[in-house]
Chain A
């Protein structure tokens, strides 16, 4: 296989070819491509495309899919955050059952730095180091001076809708001074928790604990964390005039443009990144043999959207830290396993 084709996944009309990488020693005849960290350093790169307070888009170039996938999996399920784990219902006369209400409360993202808190095992008592307490005490009543014939519950009643902003943080121990700069609160103030009608009340105490997405999705620090491979459209033979226009329209806007070269209008790929790899172009007879749809196997376009608890760039950094930690823990475990094995003999 030609060297430049080695890291291309080829998309054909009915199948995908050359899917798995073979970048291992002795994979190719007469060639030895042993892995060197120095070599990796040269071919590897990160390009940050876009960074906002909640989103990051970056390109991860020159790594194996297993590494990119490990990163994605850690982002979704292994980075700790604080979330409501226990709800002590004192009174709930609303129409929403206790367990449904408790579940909805659990999903509210809480703005608290997880690194400031310790892990809490089920047997550990709650302390100011491992638990955050919120209170929710709301009652719905009829509004005063409501015009006759008013039908909007928001005007007719007080507290007809309960929002996340109504959660009251109850600082314990030294939490008030520890978090004076950044008081603990729900990220969003406008999450509708439930609705009440006059006479109904909810009174409960909520305990937040540290956890990871593997245990429950409410602990996941990302809304999405995904990657896709960079598309690469190869035009093997010139596509001109009317065909060029049809060719351009086979792709999303901005992928292909028509340029004039020596008086001939030709189709030219200008931004393959925008392509969705729809394979529409492969349905047309006139393009047979003229175009090849491929993806670059080691070029990952990552998209990470944070829930707002941890900044997106810190999330990626933490994900790498966790993979490093996993290696270190496993190395120590391997040493003791080998020791145990030797003693048996």
Chain B
């Protein structure tokens, strides 16, 4: 499913910084250990992305931090085994998180359609 064409309007695309993701200096040469700096993101994406990346068996370590509360930046560290690399793990994490959301959305629509809510008083 290609959604890039009709990008919905919920996020102000104009406000997305040009270099939203930066690979911080100090990454290993084979890119198995990388710290990404994601701009204009917080715990919303940081924590859920950390969870989805950690589901990958090739990932040895994944953690995130917000270095300073007045800087809209999230640092995400990924270390993988040498059978993979951090870029792939990040890509897979983002894909999985999106799929999880799509499954949740589909289920929500299904339940709304079914009606007959379990009313409690």
Contacting pair B22 A80 (CB below 8 A):
no
Q: How many residues of A contact B (CB 8 A)?
A: 60
Given A25-B57, A50-B117 in contact, is the A325-B11 Cβ separation under 8 Å? Answer: yes
Task: Find chain A residues with CB under 8 A from B45 CB.
Answer: 70, 323, 326-327, 330
The smallest C-beta distance from B99 to any residue of chain A, in angstroms, reads 5
Output the residue of A323, A327, A334 with the most chain B CB within 10 A. A327
The residue from A34, A79, A330 contacting B94, defined by CB atoms under 8 A apart? A330
Given A24-B55, A67-B51 in contact, is the A320-B41 Cβ separation under 8 Å? Answer: no
Contacting pair B99 A325 (CB below 8 A):
no
Task: Find chain A residues with CB under 8 A from B47 CB.
Answer: 66, 69-70
The residue from B50, B91, B99 contacting A37, defined by CB atoms under 8 A apart? B99
A51 to B20, CA, bound (A): 38
Contacting pair B19 A337 (CB below 8 A):
yes
Q: Does B44 contact A (CB under 8 A)?
A: yes
The residue from B48, B94, B103 contacting A70, defined by CB atoms under 8 A apart? B48
A50 to B99, CA, bound (A): 27
Mark B10-25 against chain A: 1 for CB-CB distance below 8 A, else 0.
1111111001111100
Contacting pair A35 B55 (CB below 8 A):
yes
Task: Find chain A residues with CB under 8 A from B104 CB.
Answer: 44, 46, 60, 63, 67, 320
The smallest C-beta distance from B93 to any residue of chain A, in angstroms, reads 9
The smallest C-beta distance from A119 to any residue of chain B, in angstroms, reads 4
Q: Name the residue of chain A whose CB is nearest to the CB of B39.
A: A333
Q: Does B56 contact A (CB under 8 A)?
A: yes
Q: Name the residue of chain B whose CB is nearest to the CB of A24.
A: B54
Mark A301-345 against chain B: 1 for CB-CB distance below 8 A, else 0.
000000000000100111011111111111111101110110000
Q: How many residues of B contact A (CB 8 A)?
A: 58
Q: Does A47 contact B (CB under 8 A)?
A: yes
Task: Find chain B residues with CB under 8 A from A58 CB.
Answer: 111
Task: Find chain A residues with CB under 8 A from B11 CB.
Answer: 78, 322, 325-326, 329
Contacting pair B48 A325 (CB below 8 A):
no
The smallest C-beta distance from A316 to any residue of chain B, in angstroms, reads 6
The residue from A34, A70, A118, A328 contacting B44, defined by CB atoms under 8 A apart? A70
Contacting pair B119 A324 (CB below 8 A):
no
A119 to B94, CA, bound (A): 26
Task: Find chain A residues with CB under 8 A from B95 CB.
Answer: 327, 331
Output the residue of B7, B99, B100, B104 with the most chain A CB within 10 A. B104
Q: Does A170 contact B (CB under 8 A)?
A: no
Q: Does A32 contact B (CB under 8 A)?
A: yes
A46 to B119, CA, bound (A): 14
Task: Find chain B residues with CB under 8 A from A341 CB.
Answer: 23
A41 to B108, CA, bound (A): 12
Q: List 5 A-B contacts (CB under 8 A).
A: A35-B55, A46-B108, A80-B10, A324-B105, A334-B36
Given contacts A48-B118, A334-B94, 6 further A-B pairs with CB under 8 A are A35-B96, A64-B51, A119-B9, A318-B10, A334-B87, A336-B19
